Amino acid sequence: MDKIQEIKDRLKNLKSLPTLPPIVSRLNEMVEDEDVTAVSLGKVIEKDQVLTSKLLRMVNSSFFGFPQRISTVSNAIVLLGFNVIKTLIVTSSIFDVMQSSDIGLWEHSLGCAAFSGIMAARRNIKNPEEVSTASLIHDIGKVVIRSEFPEYYAKIVEDVERRGVFMREAEEEVLGVQHGEIGGWLADEWNLPERLSIPIRFHHYPEKAGEFVEIASIIHISDIVIRAWGYGFGGDKWVPPLSHAAWEQIKFGKAEGREIMEELDLRLSELKNFTMEF
C-alpha cells in the first residue's frame, strides 16, 4: 500500500492522539477540585495543541450537531459543558516516553499562537482567538507523524540532523507528503471548520489559502518570527523562507514591528512561566 493511502487510512481510524503527560496530570488534578469551572479547564486546554484539537473534534462531530462551525476553545467549552470536558480529560492519552522535541514543539506552537493572536488583533480580524487557535494547532500533522508513524518519524529526524534539511523536505522524501497536508487531512476528517483546516494545510504556502489567505499568512509569519526568536523547537533549526505574498498581506514597518516585538516579549515571558512549571 502506498504511504499516502496508509496515512489517510490511519487518520480515518485515529482513535486517540497522545499529548504531554504533565499537562494531562495538571488537568486531572484540577477536575478533582469541586469548585473548578469549565472555563478554568479551558484556560489550560487552550495551551495544548492536541487537547485543543480533540475538543474541537468533539464539538464539531455530527453527534453534537454543529459540524464545521466551532473554531475556538471558549466556544467549545460553552457548548460541551463541564462533564464532557472532564471525560475528555480523564480519558486522554499521553506519550509513553516524552522526548525533548515534544516539549520543543509544544513551546513552538504556543509561541506561534501568541504572535498570531497579537497580529490578528492588530489587523482587526473579527475573531482573533480563532487565528491563535489555528496557529496553536498548525503543526498537528507533526504530532500525527510522531505518534502514529514512529519509524518514519525517526527517519525524518535522522535526515534533518544528518543532512541539515528542513523537516518538511525530509517528510516529503520519507512520506511523500508534508505535515501541513497531513494536518489538513486530519482537520477535515475531524470536521473542523475550514477557517482552521485550510490555514493548517497551507501554512507553508499561504498564497494558496484562498479566502483564508490572511489567517494563513499570519500563521506563516508567526512560524518564522518564533523560530527566529529561538522560542521552542519546530523540528529543525532553520527559519523558513518568508512568503512574499504573506508579507504583503500583513506587513509591518519598523515602528509597528518594535511594538509587536514588545508585546510578544511580554506574552512569551508569561508563557515561559507557565511552561517552566512542567
Partner 1 sequence: MARISVVAPQILRTPSERLPIEAFGHKLIVHGNVQNAIESILNDPPECLLIQKGLQDGIDKTVITALKEDLKLSFLPIILAVQEKDIMSGIDFSRYPVDEIVCINAHPEEILTRIELSLSRSHRVADNNPLTGLPGNTSILKTIQGYIEQETERAVCYVDIDNFKPLNDKYGFSRGDEVIRMTARVIVNVVSEEAKSEGFVGHVGGDDFVFSVPVPAAESICKRILESFDALITLFLNPDDAERGYFESVDRQGRPQRFPLTSLSIAVVPCTKGRFNHYGEVSLVAAQLKKKVKAIEGSSYFIDRREDAEKA
Nearer to partner 1, 56 or 167 (CB): 56
Q: Within a 10 A sphere around the Cβ of 238, how many other Cβ atoms?
A: 14
Contact 235, 142 (CB under 8 A): yes
State the nearest-atom distance from the C-beta of 68 to partner 1, in Å. Answer: 10
State the nearest-atom distance from the C-beta of 5 to partner 1, in Å. Answer: 22
State the nearest-atom distance from the C-beta of 35 to partner 1, in Å. Answer: 11
Nearer to partner 1, 15 or 254 (CB): 15
Nearer to partner 1, 58 or 137 (CB): 58
Nearer to partner 1, 78 or 245 (CB): 78
State the nearest-atom distance from the C-beta of 87 to partner 1, in Å. Answer: 4
State the nearest-atom distance from the C-beta of 152 to partner 1, in Å. Answer: 22
Nearer to partner 1, 44 or 79 (CB): 79
Nearer to partner 1, 57 or 168 (CB): 57
Contact 73, 45 (CB under 8 A): yes
Nearer to partner 1, 176 or 210 (CB): 210
State the nearest-atom distance from the C-beta of 271 to partner 1, in Å. Answer: 25
Nearer to partner 1, 112 or 140 (CB): 140
Sequence-ordered list of residues with C-beta below 8 angstroms from that of 82, at least 6 positions apart, any chain: 37, 38, 41
Q: Which positions touch partner 1 (CB under 8 A)?
A: 15-16, 37-38, 54, 57-58, 61, 63-66, 69-71, 74-75, 78-84, 86-88, 90-93
**Gap between the Cα atoms of 53 and 35, Å rounded:** 26
State the nearest-atom distance from the C-beta of 96 to partner 1, in Å. Answer: 12
State the nearest-atom distance from the C-beta of 264 to partner 1, in Å. Answer: 27
Crossing angle (nearest 10°) for helices 179-189 and 194-201: 160
